[in-house]
Chain A
Amino acid sequence: MLFYSFFKTLVGQTVTVELKNDLSVVGTLVSVDQFLNIKLDNIKVEHEDQHPHMMSVKNCFIRGSVVRYVHLPPAAIDTALLQDAARRESQQSTATAKA
């Protein structure tokens, strides 16, 4: 749930989603769900000449499993808070596994 919550805090930011087929889509993050499926608005495709089919697409839904990277705006991220949350979540899941 850590990354689902994390991406929710980034809604409204401009991100670049890089897919495993090398397609890179820049757009405004509209929503995210628990599978980390992503919806982007006002999209622009990098290297559009190699992906001509994306030319007339304005917004899109990307299945979480096909994502390789998401490039994030560093200014929007509190890294200390994020590390804290990651530490807490990993210890919680260890504790749950033992119980």
Chain B
Amino acid sequence: MSSFLPNHLFTTSGSLVDLLDKRLLVILRDGRKILGFLRSYDQYERIYVKDVYGDIQRGVFVIRGENVVLLGEIDNIKDDEQPLQQLPYDQVLRMQQEEAEARQQKEKVKNQLLHNQGFSVDFLETDLY
């Protein structure tokens, strides 16, 4: 029973120390993926659509904590092996837009049907995160 007692000290920030200066993938609540070094000047935004991606060079980002979904440390070896195809970012942006519109349309139909079945549909997509 003692293992369930709250007798530990804890910190959140401490647990991120070992990610400092590592190359990270940050997933945000709106679905954006940001790649960069934690605390460096070398960050850019990457947009993925299915198996292609495009990079937009960005400067320094300060990200508010509540928008973070996930921080992932990039393995450079695995990164070299990934089979994705890079395209100019404006092209990928267009593809992303089309995908988003199709999804929104589907969502609308879905909400209408499920609402009739008594499901709660009173939230935005980003509320789900």
The answer to whether B73 touches A37 (Cβ under 8 A) is no
Q: List A residues at the B interface (Cβ < 8 Å).
A: 1-2, 4-6, 8-9, 19-21, 23, 25, 31, 33-35, 37, 39, 43, 49, 52-63, 65-66, 81-82, 84-85, 89
- For B120, the chain A residues whose CB sits under 8 A away are none
Whole-angstrom distance between the alpha carbons of A4 and B68 in the complex?
20
Given contacts A31-B15, A61-B19, A66-B70, contact A53 B129 (CB under 8 A): no
Q: How many residues on chain B are close to A (CB under 8 Å)?
A: 40
Nearest A residue to B74 by beta-carbon distance?
A: A56
Pairs A-B, 3 closest by C-beta atoms: A57-B72, A56-B79, A1-B6
Q: List B residues at the A interface (Cβ < 8 Å).
A: 1, 3-6, 8, 10-12, 15-16, 19, 25, 27, 29, 31, 33, 46, 48, 50-51, 53, 65-66, 68-76, 78-79, 81-82, 84, 128-129
Interchain Cβ contacts within 8 Å, total number:
105
The answer to whether B15 touches A19 (Cβ under 8 A) is no
CB distance from B45 to the nearest CB of A (A): 12
